[in-house]
Amino acid sequence: MFTRRNLVQCVAASALVMATPALARAPVDVDDVAKLPRVKVPLVAPPFIHPHEQATKEGPRIVEFRMTIHEKEIVIDNDGTKLQGMTFEGSIPGPMMVVHENDYVELTLVNPDTNSMPHNIDFHAATGALGGGALTLINPGEQVVLRFKADRTGTFVYHCAPEGPMIPWHVVSGMSGTIMVLPRGGLKDENGKPLHYDKAYYIGESDFYVPKDENGKYKAYDSPGESYADTMEVMRKLIPTHVVFNGAVGSLTGDKAMTAKVGERVLIVHSQANRDTRPHIIGGHGDYVWESGKFANPPEKNLETWFVRGGSAAAALYTFRQPGIYAYVNHNLIEAVELGATAHFKVEGQWNDDLMKQIRPPEPIGSGATLGALKK
């Protein structure tokens, strides 16, 4: 069993060891950075993404974000199963941030005194000091400001990474999100031709490990700390009880389905901070897919299913060509159907019989038309 005092001392010592040499070796030209224009960007909850330019002719700038950590109880399925969640800005996944290559990200991370745990943030897009984790460890009642240069393009995961077993526990309790660093000239196809999107959605896939009691019922706890020992026991078996999109079963279905229109090109960013996954649009495709999430690499084309490595985020562009409800799933169909990893796109528009048409409705075998009639 851990104590908060021991955890804080351990992580603080690690942060000091990792951060000090990096700062000594790589002094920052503060005057040059200070001259850059600044912009404050409010964050929004997934699957939505804050307004942003897809391409820019302006020079680099400092993009300011403020993100508050919330520890809170979350209902994760239709049966009322409760998770003692740890979250960035109150959502699972945390909000998506968008900047352009060579912008500076300046994040104010806040850990309110109502929380019970120390937290930090590790940006996979950043270079040095454990991705910022060694410089952002904060106790309840503290805040910290981190700045890093977004010097490579793509979609990248961020997550909490305190120390040792605290890392996976915090991640599978909800503490991950994504940052997208766009090329200053925007997205390009394999020939360098510009690619634009009409809408963008962010889907964060999570694996949860909820303990059960002796009767096989999911247990509930009063605080994250109280759930720690039991949750670790379930985690170490590597068998999730839930695999979900955006924090809960059904979070992106029904009246919460993502929307589009026929002819709209949609950017889908999909992250998984802990396990491998394989997104698939039932009835659609990935027209352009950056499977590794890195825009410096040419996109693959016309994929039926793509692979997202654990600890990464992929990006895909698809132009919807037919109306209807499209299921977007993790194509481990056991996890999609049984554990919850399913979302929906609700697409409006006119049906195209050339792409698909039911020639005859279901009928008793042997009735109706002959093969020759069917050809007419």
159 is catalytic: yes
Q: Which of 64, 264, 300, 331 is catalytic?
A: 331
50 is catalytic: no
Q: Which of 190, 304, 338, 348 is catalytic?
A: 304
285 is catalytic: no
Cis bond leading into 118, ω under 30°?
no
**Strand spans (E) along 174-299:** 176-182, 187-188, 194-195, 199-208, 242-245, 258-261, 265-272, 279-281, 286-290
Q: Which of 119, 242, 270, 285 is catalytic?
A: 119
305 is catalytic: yes
304 is catalytic: yes
70 is catalytic: no
Q: Which of 160, 180, 235, 258 is catalytic?
A: 160
Residue recorded with tokens 């950590």? 69
Contacts of 70 (CB under 8 A, 6+ apart): 86, 87, 89, 90, 112, 115
Q: Which of 280, 285, 287, 335 is catalytic?
A: 280
Query: Which candidate, 182, 178, 176, places its Cα nearest to that of 154?
Result: 182
119 is catalytic: yes
- The helix (run of H) or strand (run of E) holding residue 230 is helix 224-235
Query: Which candidate, 173, 134, 135, 179, places its Cα nearest to that of 157?
Result: 179
Contacts of 132 (CB under 8 A, 6+ apart): 120, 121, 122, 123, 126, 146, 148
Contact 140, 115 (CB under 8 A): yes
Q: Which of 70, 100, 170, 242 is catalytic?
A: 170
Q: Which of 124, 242, 270, 285 is catalytic?
A: 124
Q: Which of 122, 163, 205, 287 is catalytic?
A: 122
Q: Which of 175, 180, 235, 258 is catalytic?
A: 175
Q: Which of 10, 64, 232, 305 is catalytic?
A: 305
- Per DSSP, 219 falls in state P
Alpha-carbon distance values, 50 to 20, 121, 152, 300, 365 (Å): 34, 20, 20, 26, 54
100 is catalytic: no
Contacts of 357 (CB under 8 A, 6+ apart): none
160 is catalytic: yes
Residue 231 CA to residue 2 CA, distance in Å, equals 13
Catalytic residues: 119, 122, 124, 159-160, 170, 175, 280, 304-305, 331
